[in-house]
Amino acid sequence: MITVVAFKTKFSEIVSMSPEEIHDDTQLDSLIEWDSLAMVGMAALLFEISQTTSTADEITELKTFKDLVSLAYAKGGIENAE
């Protein structure tokens, strides 16, 4: 389990951006690096922090960074969703 700040940092590494560039309303499909490899990396991160698997549908249905945080929180991987 990690904090939202740590989660954002790990996500930013996956998509090769700085954490300061990522906001709740950041549209995932607008990110050049949000491709199948990044989605696999995100699934691995979600497993690492929550010890639960994520389906391809769960990952591909995400629209914003906030959606991603909500999924991680729902899986018990984030300490606090705020």
Q: What is the pLDDT of residue 82?
A: 52
Looking at residue 24, which CATH number applies to its domain? 1.10.1200.10
Residue 79 inside a domain? The answer is no
Task: Report the chain's terminal Cα–Cα distance, integer Å.
Answer: 14
In a domain, 49, yes or no: yes
Range of the domain at 12: 4-74
Judge whether 80 lies within some domain.
Answer: no
Whether 40 maps to a domain, the answer reads yes
Each residue's pLDDT tens digit, 24-42: 999 999 999 999 999 999 9
Q: Indicate the number of domains in the chain.
A: 1
Residue pair 28/11 in contact (Cβ under 8 Å)? The answer is no
Q: Which residues of the chain are under the pLDDT cut of 70?
A: 81-82
What's the confidence (pLDDT) of residue 79? 87
